[in-house]
Chain A
Amino acid sequence: MSPPGEDDRAVERAVEAAFRQEWAQVVATLIGATGDWDLAEECTQEAFALALRTWRRDGVPQRPGAWLTTTARNRAVDRLRRTAVGEAKLREVAAERARTEEPGDAVGMPELGDDGVGTAEVGDDRLRLIFTCCHPALGIEAQVALALRTLTGLTVPEIARAFLVPEATMAKRLVRARQKIRIAGIPYRVPPAHLLPERTTAVLGVIYLLFNEGYAATSAPTLTRRGLCEEAVRLAEMVADLMADDPEAHGLHALLRLHHARIDSRTDASGALVPLEEQDRSAWDRGEIAAGVAALERALRHGRVGPYQLQAAIAACHATAPAPADTDWAQIVDLYDQLVALVPSPVVRLNRAVAVAMADGPAAGLQLVDEIAEAGELADHHLLTATRADLLRRLGRTVEAAAAYRRARDGTANEGERRYLARRLAECEPS
């Protein structure tokens, strides 16, 4: 027998694990069963609180997810049954589900045995939730906040801290988003076939944005922002699992894993950005890189290449090169050529120019950067200026490089970038 404290910690760990694995599923099932987002979240929260107490006494159940779903659902049904409006709502939702669902995946609401629900239906409910959170009739900020609250279970204060807004602002944003879903009649479903491609793109876009929100942050509240990256990776994995036939879903999952695997070596102790070629490759997470490469292979098997898969393939070239000199720049340029054909944005062309500079020398890269600058879209953007500065430095044109580094440094609001650029500027200026 282990001491009681030991057992308590084991239960806490089990609840934490269940939280990460089951939260979205429990909330999704409850929204499906009650049609009430607030109630679903509250009852899910209560079920987890109850789990901590009950599991300490009775032990961790064999299927924690089913236990949590049943517990949360019973609480929701109890609450709804207390009022006539709630009773009516339950009947309405049951009727609606009976009407819209295939026979066979009917929920059998509200009676439910201890076994909980079938896995096929659970998967379905989580997908419904994802598509509803990322409905384009909601503002992008609302989509992101909703996805974090309902899919990952982050609390309102946590989400507020991650986005650097006051808690009250974030709470209001979530209330309004849920209100809009209810009042405007945003359907809780996986979109029909004719809407599916664009809606899937929207879902992947929200997860990508979430990741970048965390990834771009290198200043003070680093930890909460980095949590966003982890949540984004988890969401990408969930969506890839649920939409196994969508190559871009796997592509996004691969891309985020490959970036996340290198996150610790991306900044130094002072918070300055460390460029790829200077990163400590022994600090990269080999296991996560392997997971990313495996996800990329799953994606490419479909033979329908897309922007996320191409970016993941580029990231894989970097992540699997043992040393910077081993990087296959010719292949990276080739991948960028394909990416530019699909996404001809100036930022993608700028990244391609960097790859060309590595494959064919800085002069070739600089010429491309200057062409992009002349086209005007990124004219004074600090990314372009910083890239130009790096190429000028590598060409030995240190005076021009210093001027460009200075302009780029003054043009960025990102502390990590600013520190990196300041370091380069110091290197280029005569001491």
Chain B
Amino acid sequence: MRYLLMISAEETETGAGAVDLNDPDSADDLAVFRAWFADLQQRGVLQAHEGLHPSRTATTVRVRGHEVLLTDGPFAETKDQIGGFALIDCADLDEAIDIAAGHPAARYGQVEVRPVLEP
């Protein structure tokens, strides 16, 4: 089964849920992240993984009638924002939960696990 992991946390200057390379406190996080990433690659479950720029760089697009409406910022102005995502292919929800729990951001933010709609 495929799952999208949406990694979110309170935003820092560099993003949300992403590991901040400039922050000395996050050296541990970085090590945890690298081990997590390497493990998933080795297991062959990781289909995609990206970190995102902060939500202040986001543009939200709506079409109402014939008009394209733009908003500067994310679609939901919440304290926590999505800072990265991973697309994984694994056996079941238990394995997906295990993978989500291994991401360093799960400790200070959260990871939403969503099953992918398959054709």
Contacts and interface: CB of A to CB of B under 8 A. Distances in A.
Partners in one complex: yes
Interface of A: 135, 137, 183-187, 191, 195
Contacts of B1: 185
B94 A184 contact: no
B92 A185 contact: yes
A185 B115 contact: yes
B16 interface: no
A184 B5 CA distance: 13
Contacts, number: 23
Interface of B: 1, 3, 91-94, 96-97, 113, 115
B115 A183 contact: yes
B93 A195 contact: no
Contacts of A191: 94
Contacts of B96: 185
A191 B92 CA distance: 12
Contacts of B97: 137
A285 B115 CA distance: 50
9 contacts: A135-B93, A137-B97, A184-B113, A185-B92, A185-B96, A186-B92, A186-B94, A191-B94, A195-B94
Contact of A187 (B3, B92, B113): B92
Nearest to B117: A183
B91 A187 contact: yes
A195 B92 CA distance: 14
Contacts of A137: 93, 97
Nearest to A195: B94
Contacts of A184: 93, 113, 115
B94 A187 contact: yes
A183 B1 CA distance: 9
Which of B93, B96, B113 has the largest count of A CB atoms less than 10 A from its CB? B93
A45 B1 CA distance: 31
B75 to A, nearest CB: 23
Contacts of B113: 184
B30 to A, nearest CB: 26
A183 B115 CA distance: 7
A120 to B, nearest CB: 24
Nearest to B94: A187
Nearest to A187: B92
Contacts of A185: 1, 3, 91-93, 96, 115
Which of B1, B94, B97 has the largest count of A CB atoms less than 10 A from its CB? B94
Contacts of B93: 135, 137, 184-187
A187 B93 CA distance: 7
Given A135-B93, A184-B113, A185-B91, 18 more contacts: A137-B93, A137-B97, A183-B115, A184-B93, A184-B115, A185-B1, A185-B3, A185-B92, A185-B93, A185-B96, A186-B92, A186-B93, A186-B94, A187-B91, A187-B92, A187-B94, A191-B94, A195-B94
A135 B96 CA distance: 14
Nearest to A135: B93
Contacts of B91: 185, 187
Nearest to A137: B93
A137 B1 CA distance: 16
Contacts of B3: 185
Contacts of A183: 115
